[in-house]
Chains A and B, each alone.
With several copies, the nearest count.
Chain A
Amino acid sequence: MSETIVQENNKHRNLGITDEQVIKMYRTMVLARKFDERALLLQRSGKVNFHVSGIGHEAAQIGAAFALEKQKDYFLPYYRDYGMVLSIGMTVRDLMLSIFAKEEDITSGGRQMPGHFSAKQYHIVTGSSPVTTQVPHAVGFALAAKMKKQDFVSIVTFGDGSSNQGDFHEGLNFAAVQKLPVIFMVENNQYAISTPLHKQVACERLVDRGLGYGMHSVQVDGNDPLAVYKVVKEARERGIKGEGPTFIEAKMYRLSPHSTSDNDLAYRTKEEVEENWKKDSIPHFKTYLEECGLWTEEQELRMQEEIKQEVNEATKYAEQAPFPKPEEALTHVFKEQ
């Protein structure tokens, strides 16, 4: 019995994750959550116009990001992926500059909505709002890897509703035919705005779609960062070895409303939401670290304090940062000579 527990507690080591790394994973999850909570507050107090929350998605995002290689692999995240972009180089300050739409915003210089990540230095590929368009782009990066014989993969994430767009189908099929090193990860949070999964699809599991592409496909508990790490790591290896793409379905629940413009209680019950809070990955992962003997309440308090300060400073910095000059709206339509 105690055997089993020890093994369970060594789950991360069995996956090749060091103790330091696993703590970093936890810290990044909390950081993403704290940023997100602050952003919600900032929106509510009228300091920023809009926020789209990733609360409930952090475990999957961080599990995936840590399994990949920073500044080598290419990342095509979607709008909830704060956990992912924070894992691979972006800072809370970057995120704050984006939600305040300031000149220094690295994602777009204040042009795009928050959550529309972009940063070439971190191999984060610019994204747009029309859902699923990034899926074929990721395939294009993977195609380049194959053509140029480079050993990177691309990863692209998107929502469950978005798996019904034509671009999902066309992108996965293309990648499968060409056996490209790309990882498709759907963050299945049970809703597309107000529309529940059963009004979006009639299949049992989204991952069932993989068969139709002849694609290796795997469903995973999106609340378990180590489980996600494992399947993404394996997917990366398959990709690098020339064994083709992988389709991953990470199951979770969207704990926040769709965005700050949404009233989710118009279409789901408080009880349902509360029920799902019980599965929140953050306290569970904390318990795991504690059970591994890697984490104490003291460390937790210190980290919480640090993160609070980080978020405070980032907020302050971004709030005070200058807006872009109006005429900036006219630049970079085409390459300027």
Chain B
Amino acid sequence: MAKISYIDAISAAMKEEMERDENVFVLGEDVGVKGGVFGTTRGLHEQFGEMRSMDTPLAESAIAGVAIGAAMYGMRPIAEMQYGDFMLPATNQIINEAARIRYRSNNDWECPLVIRAPIGGGIFGGLYHSQCPESIFVGTPGLKIVVPSTPYDAKGLLKAAIRDEDPVLFFEHKKCYRMIVDEVPEEDYIVEIGKSDVKREGEDVTVITYGLTVHFALQAAAELEQEGISTHVLDLRTLQPLDREGILKAAEKTGKVLIIHEDNKTGGVGAEVSAIIAEELVFDLDAPIKRFCGYDVPAMPISPPLEKFYMLNKDKVKQAIKEMALF
């Protein structure tokens, strides 16, 4: 097994799927000749040509809408949104169209489409290059939503998304792109959409999280181990459909639930996770269900002290777990 980065895992998944199935293609702004502003599609243009790694006009609603049409025909488009912040012009196409095609046609038409978008902050991107837009889409039936935290999951989930018969939003935390490296098998594999993953077993506190903050939780957990606090870390991986069973099992395990995400707290997917637990396990809890999330401000400022203040990190997460443990 080779050690590869999160971004390389994503690139490899696309390359391999394009080799496997000639209906798979990528389209988006600057994804062709340049290989994407982050480099996720680098090499595809050379290997597959300009039709299958297509530079599109600067128009997100068309990128999504054209991909939807192609998907209904039977293609397997992967539409890249340059930043999660810039996918909002495509909201109508995503929510009112892609997500409703199977249902509204009573299963006659389907829309096997992947929309990829980098999300998250900590890169001095300011208000419009740091957003976590997932909560806008969570709660849209008909849409699957995936956020991997590791190269292994990224590759396996992206392959699963490409092979899925329904539309999938695939969010990539841009801070993970080069920072997170781990072992990824050379052979073909997928990670099933809709399944959470226990990233660390523990007894005292259950952390439920996804994306970049999985790593903060794991780092904090490792340090807390030294202090005698044992942390159970559940990586949601899929935000929709949520893995109810996995969530309840993890919550039950310790009776103390701390939900962590970078997206702002109010209306985030953490609320849904909390509500699921409160619906099923309320009498099995040893502490209130807490959420430790981004502040409820329009988005993350760029100035270093402000960004630092906004962003979660290992130390802040450690503190939050500790407080929960001591409850």
Tell me, yes or no, whether B227 is within 8 Å of chain A by CB.
no
Which residues of chain A are within 8 angstroms of B129 by Cβ–Cβ distance?
113, 129
Which residue, B57, B92, B141, has most C-beta atoms of chain A within 10 A? B57
Find out whether the CB atom of B59 lies under 8 angstroms from the CB atom of A170: yes
Please tell me which stretch of B70-78, B145-153, B283-291 contacts chain A, meaning at least 4 of its Cβ atoms lie within 8 angstroms of it: B70-78
Please tell me which stretch of B99-107, B244-252, B254-262 contacts chain A, meaning at least 4 of its Cβ atoms lie within 8 angstroms of it: B99-107
Find out whether the CB atom of A136 lies under 8 angstroms from the CB atom of B127: no
Find out whether the CB atom of A126 lies under 8 angstroms from the CB atom of B101: yes
Please tell me which stretch of A24-32, A215-223, A325-333 contacts chain B, meaning at least 4 of its Cβ atoms lie within 8 angstroms of it: A325-333
Within 8 A of B (CB), among A78-136: 101-103, 105-113, 116, 118-120, 125-126, 128-131, 133, 135-136
Within 8 A of A (CB), among B273-306: 295-298, 300-306
A215 to B37, CA, bound (A): 30
Find out whether the CB atom of A170 lies under 8 angstroms from the CB atom of B308: no
Tell me, yes or no, whether B61 is within 8 Å of chain A by CB.
yes
A126 and B57 in contact, given A136-B69, A267-B34, A329-B309 (Cβ under 8 angstroms): no
A315 to B321, CA, bound (A): 43
A261 and B55 in contact, given A128-B100, A329-B295, A332-B106 (Cβ under 8 angstroms): no
Tell me, yes or no, whether B310 is within 8 Å of chain A by CB.
yes
A324 to B310, CA, bound (A): 13
Tell me, yes or no, whether A60 is within 8 Å of chain B by CB.
no
Tell me, yes or no, whether B25 is within 8 Å of chain A by CB.
yes
Please tell me which stretch of B81-89, B198-206, B217-225 contacts chain A, meaning at least 4 of its Cβ atoms lie within 8 angstroms of it: B81-89
CB distance from B268 to the nearest CB of A (A): 16
Which residues of chain A are within 8 angstroms of B73 by Cβ–Cβ distance?
74, 140-141, 144
Which residues of chain B are within 8 angstroms of A328 by Cβ–Cβ distance?
301, 306
Which B residue sits closest to A202, measured CB to CB? B57
A335 and B104 in contact, given A140-B72, A147-B25, A166-B59 (Cβ under 8 angstroms): no
CB distance from A268 to the nearest CB of B (A): 10
In this complex, the interface size class of chain B, counting residues with CB under 8 Å from chain A, is 35 or more
Find out whether the CB atom of B58 lies under 8 angstroms from the CB atom of A161: yes
Within 8 A of B (CB), among A176-199: 177, 192-195, 199
Find out whether the CB atom of B58 lies under 8 angstroms from the CB atom of A125: no
Which residues of chain B are within 8 angstroms of A170 by Cβ–Cβ distance?
57, 59, 61-62, 65
Find out whether the CB atom of A140 lies under 8 angstroms from the CB atom of B65: yes
Tell me, yes or no, whether B97 is within 8 Å of chain A by CB.
yes
Tell me, yes or no, whether B187 is within 8 Å of chain A by CB.
no
Find out whether the CB atom of B109 lies under 8 angstroms from the CB atom of A125: yes
Q: Choose from A105, A106, A136 the contact partner of B68 (Cβ within 8 Å).
A: A136
Find out whether the CB atom of A334 lies under 8 angstroms from the CB atom of B142: yes
A323 to B124, CA, bound (A): 14
Tell me, yes or no, whether B165 is within 8 Å of chain A by CB.
yes
CB distance from B108 to the nearest CB of A (A): 5
Which A residue sits closest to B66, measured CB to CB? A140
Find out whether the CB atom of A140 lies under 8 angstroms from the CB atom of B71: yes
Find out whether the CB atom of A324 lies under 8 angstroms from the CB atom of B102: no
CB distance from B22 to the nearest CB of A (A): 9
Interface residues of B (CB under 8 A from A): 25, 29-30, 33-35, 37, 51-52, 55-59, 61-62, 64-75, 77, 85-86, 88-89, 92-93, 96-97, 100-110, 124-129, 141-142, 144, 165-166, 241, 295-298, 300-306, 308-310
Q: A112-B127, A133-B92 are in contact. List 4 more A-B contacts (CB 8 A).
A: A108-B301, A112-B126, A130-B85, A140-B69
